[in-house]
Amino acid sequence: MPRGGWYSVGVVLMFAVLPFVYGNHALLFNMMMYLVLAQGINVLFGFTGYLPFGYVGFFGTGAYGTSLAILLLHLPPLPALLVGAAAAMLVGLVLAPLLKLSGAYFAIASLAASEVVYYIVSNPHLTPLTQGPYGISLVQTYNAAQSYAVMVAVLALALGAVVYLRNSNLGLALQAIREEPISAGFAGINVVRERTRAWLLSAALAGLAGGVYAWHVSVFYPKPVFDLSISVFAIVFTLFGGAATLLGPVVGTLLLYGLYNWIGISQPEYFQLVFGIVIVVLVLFLPNGLMSLLRRIRVDVP
């Protein structure tokens, strides 16, 4: 088993079994969704150093690609999910020139790109194609149990992708590019190609998460699936736990989304205060996330 593989199996089995002992299936589903998104952020930021504020654009594209494949092409949900993932990757390919930017320029440009995608799908003139601002209804395919099971499978895929990157030459190449792109190029690494591969893999994971979300909720509107808070939550969860690790995004998502569910929904003003304090403390004392604390006491972190 590759390094980190058993941890991935444990996380997947936990979410597969929890519905039988814990009744809040909506919480479990949303937590898995953010786990997938956090690992998608991890693939891009943790291994290449690109922080996409507009990551929600891939999520929304996946939701719409899957939904329109069901409504217009009359595909069953599972093949439609592949269409949603392909649509997200196609958007990623179109936006690949953004990878020429770096730092804050890339982050802001990706945010602007996601807004462009949002305004395209919500345009009233495209109502015959995308339903415009009037929302999507997939009630004819609604099946909460099946969509939950598929999200478990997508979570396994996301964790498997990170395990692969942490144990493969591609992962080493991406980390070399993150640290010294010029030196990596001189060492024979195709910097543009490897960055693009990570970008498209990250887009596919978000597209799958968005597609399963659309299937699970069955009725949604453009604004919620392109809401910037989705990107922000996924990024914060990843950074809180520790990027470029397998367990960092998992721990960050479980702790912070659990905190959000505990006080954020009923008392959002207190959640914002506590959330802000947690982030400030993290930035000041653990800038590399909680996993860096384990490294300080010489614990091997997958």
The encoded tokens of residue 8 equal 């991935």
- Helical H runs in the chain? 5-17, 25-41, 47-48, 56-72, 77-94, 103-121, 127-130, 144-166, 169-179, 181-186, 191-217, 222-225, 228-241, 247-259, 268-285, 290-296
Tens of pLDDT, residue by residue, the chain (302 residues): 787 889 999 999 999 999 999 989 999 999 999 999 999 999 999 999 999 999 999 999 999 999 999 999 999 999 999 999 999 999 999 999 999 998 899 999 999 999 999 999 999 999 999 999 999 999 999 999 999 999 999 999 999 999 999 999 888 899 998 888 888 888 889 989 999 999 999 999 999 999 999 999 999 999 999 999 999 999 999 999 999 899 999 999 999 999 888 887 667 777 777 777 877 887 788 778 888 877 767 566 67
Q: Determine the pLDDT at residue 301.
A: 62
Q: Determine the pLDDT at residue 17.
A: 97
Q: Determine the pLDDT at residue 300.
A: 67
CA distances from 120 to 57, 68, 87, 213, 263 (A): 11, 14, 14, 20, 35
Q: Determine the pLDDT at residue 187.
A: 85
| SS3 of residue 219 by DSSP | strand
Q: What is the pTM of this model?
A: 0.95
Domain edges within the chain = 5-227
Q: Determine the pLDDT at residue 214.
A: 98
Q: Determine the pLDDT at residue 270.
A: 76
Q: Determine the pLDDT at residue 75.
A: 97
Q: Rounded to an integer, what distance in angstroms lies between the CA atom of residue 29 and that of residue 49?
A: 28
The encoded tokens of residue 246 equal 């397998």
